[in-house]
Each structure stands twice: as structure tokens, then as C-alpha cells.
Amino acid sequence: MKKLILLCSFALLSFSCDKKADEKATKEDVAKTLELPNFNYKVFEKISGKFDLILFNPPYLPEDKREDTASSIATTGGKKGDEIILRFISKAKSHLNNNGIILLLLSSLTPKDKILSSLKKYRFKKEILEKNILIIY
């Protein structure tokens, strides 16, 4: 079984920035440290091949101006919270083997209407494993 595990939130929380303790890191500082040009998640950009199982724990919360930069990079999925997931869904089919499945983690704060519409648009089927975990195939 060929697996792809995308643990974005966890991976992006563990970074360090070259700033003094009393200086606040900007989004640009953090993006540079994480090598994320223009602070933009490029889903599947450097991934080739097809997989039997894709686990995706994306940043999925709506933007919150009160949240600090480091935390928001790890948790914010866009202005509404679904933008990264929608980009993922639009490209996932070409990386999923026949009979492959995707486990997608969401939040109760993530708007689901567009996500569910996008799954239909790209001809995915879905089941709800838990309240905020989708099985997509």
C-alpha cells in the first residue's frame, strides 16, 4: 500500500524564526523560514505519483486577526477556512489510485458547503467517519 501523509498543521507549528525575543515575526519572516513563497500553500506541488491512502490534516480554521502569526500559519485554512482544502480536492483525484481513499480532517468551524460541493464536482464519494473526519474515495 502506497501512503501519503500530509500533516500540515503539525509540521508548520515546528519552525523557528531568526528574530529576537522582543521582535514579532511577520508572515513574510515565517513564510521565508518555511520556504512558502507568498504565504501560499501549494498543494501537491512537489508530489508525484498515485497513492492508495492519503491522510490530510490541513490548516482548516477561518482567519482570525487576533491569532499570532506562527499559530495562524499552522491553523488557518484561508479567510473562510476551506480554501486550502478546496485546492487539495481539486488536485487529489490525479494522486489517488483506483480504489484509493483519502482521510480528511476538518474542524467544526470549517465551512463544509463548498467542500461537499467540490467533492461532487470532482466525482468523489464520501462517508463521515467521525464528526469532522471524512473518508473520500
Task: Report the CATH number that the domain containing residue 50 is assigned in CATH.
Answer: 3.40.50.150
Write the pLDDT tens digit of every residue in 44-80.
777 788 999 988 888 777 788 888 777 777 777 778 8
Domain encompassing residue 101:
3-17+24-136
Q: What is the pLDDT of residue 42?
A: 66
Nearest partner of 132 among 113, 96, 108, judged by Cα = 108
Write the pLDDT tens digit of every residue in 74-99.
777 778 888 888 988 999 999 999 99
Structurally, the chain folds into a number of domains equal to: 1
Nearest partner of 53 among 104, 129, 114, 8, judged by Cα = 104
3-state secondary structure 46-115: CCCCCEEEEEECCCCECCCCCCCHHHHHHHECCCCCCHHHHHHHHHHHHHEEEEEEEEEECCCCCCCHHH
Across 9-18, 61-70, 123-132, which has the greatest mean pLDDT?
A: 123-132
